Structure 1
């Protein structure tokens, strides 16, 4: 199994003022290397220093940023002017800031949604894709993740903890029920709902959950950003019509892509990765047999790092 590359520090860190949002952006690795941007999950999850470590720092110029309202970006947890299309425009602003003509676009979970949507709008700016844990932004996927008959049927114990803050507000539309509490003036109810929302996804994201990770997820600041922004996106159907990505995949199907998905992914069902790969003529799907959804399970790490190495060899010979 190939591990993450060694820890590195950013070469530069900056904040771009994009409308009312101040967006954190960093660059690491080889300044003359292959440009790659990594798109984190959520929406609202924030970036991790370990995202740099998927890529060989001698071969890649690694760009990472915190999407609007999360991580080090401010205003914290803001949903104002925070949509899929705003984030796509932010990615273009970042590309122009670094004077990059074309780059490898990589991402995990919601980051795959954003990567594909960005590619559909700006295909001429993408040299290749590496996508882990496919989420296509459809209502069926949201219903699976938050429904009692979806992932809730696989993890009924965790699901009861998840919906506990709703009390008598429980109904078939869990996203709307949480929306009322996450944006309520009652701060105690808001924090409890944010922690429950964030913990639910974390508890079902890997085959073996590290208890220290559960403690860190409960940190109020990050939990509020994750829960409020993610709920905002899902309440607005990710800001595009259902099945938008697959309906427009022909725009980018000529661009090479590695698609990586855990066999036992309970957050994002594997059938989405299968459907995507079937319609993407220049994509290779790798199913990781002993993995769930997390980007930091050993099998997933191995697959992403190897995909990045292969893609570097390919792009350097073009």
Structure 2
């Protein structure tokens, strides 16, 4: 039972529409869930993080992701536009303040939104951190390129080129190499048959969008180094997630936060992280 209240599409630009769903109990503490990616999507599986009786939950697919249209679109797709989209959604639903749960890439979006619009954020809950600061991207990009060279016998530049080739086989090979690198970095596994099945035309478009962000340094700007938080912030982090831990070190210099560490990697669906997220949300729920 998902307690679906409503769903729909919200135009946010001339060419982008966001798909959204609203779950839980109307009138409860409003929570926006920001999924990972870029190029990812929300899912009702993410409702596992919530006690549906205690929250009014908005799931949505970010620009170019999931059911938002046009799928995989790179034009007009950058970090600041997504931050604006969060605000457009908040206004659409008429919430004065929201709690934001951000996972992986979504944790960075949550941080940026809370920094830029502090009066509209009640609190943050962040899991499996990803902060695309230059120092973190050096770690991330080095690990990706090392895998691509040693295991996939290709390069990042070749992956970028092949993803935009008209040949679908070249696109698939490039997408397989990129996903393999991401799984390796995050200490996750997927057997070869499942991976082959996963890489279809939809996945290729999503990976092309993710690579678009990666090439642009995730649109991290020098002024982002000045990020400071005023709201409450709780972090749930796996200790076997190197980029997450380096992101945590970056964030500790800029925010007073409560952090819970678990024997887990980057996958927020690890049962110990799911439990940690749910407990952190409930710990300071306004209805308690």
Whether the TM-score (by the shorter chain) exceeds 0.5 is: yes
Consecutive aligned runs of 4 or more in structure 1 exceeding 6 Å deviation:
none
SS at match of 1:72: coil
Equivalent-residue separation in structure 1 for 2:192 and 2:164 (angstroms)? 28
Mapping for residues 82-161 of structure 1, pairs under 5 Å: 82-147=77-142, 150=143, 160-161=150-151
Where in structure 2 are the equivalents of 1:141-290 lying within 5 Å? 141-147=136-142, 150=143, 160-161=150-151, 163-164=152-153, 166=154, 170=155, 174=156, 176-206=157-187, 209=189, 211=191, 214-215=194-195, 218-242=198-222, 244-249=223-228, 252=229, 254-266=230-242, 268-281=243-256, 283-288=257-262, 290=263
Q: CA RMSD in A?
A: 2.3
Q: Does 1:303 align with 2:276?
A: yes
Any conservation in 1 of the 2:175–2:199 contact (CA below 8 Å)? no
The Cα offsets for residues 85-130 of structure 1, whole Å up to 9 and x where unpaired, read as 1111111111111111100011111001111111111111100000
- Please list every run of 5 or more consecutive structure 2 residues that lacks an aligned counterpart in the other structure: none
CA distance in structure 1 between the partners assigned to 2:258 and 2:224 by the alignment = 17
- For structure 1, list consecutive stretches of 5 or more residues without a partner in the other structure: 1-6
Equivalents in 2 of 1:212, 1:304: separation in Å? Answer: 31
User: 2-side partners of 1:216 and 1:14: how far apart?
Assistant: 32
Tell me the alpha carbon deviations over residues 12-42 of structure 1, each in whole angstroms, 9 at most, x when there is no partner.
1101122201211000000111000010011
State whether residues 160 and 211 of structure 2, in contact with CA within 8 Å, keep that contact through their aligned partners in structure 1: yes
Give the distance between the partners of 1:304 and 1:55, measured in 2 at CA: 8
> What is the TM-score normalised by the length of structure 2?
0.90
3-state DSSP of counterpart to 2:8: strand
Conservation of the 8 A alpha-carbon contact between 1:199 and 1:218: no
Aligned equivalent of 1:3: none
TM-superposed CA distance for 1:204, in Å, is: 4.1
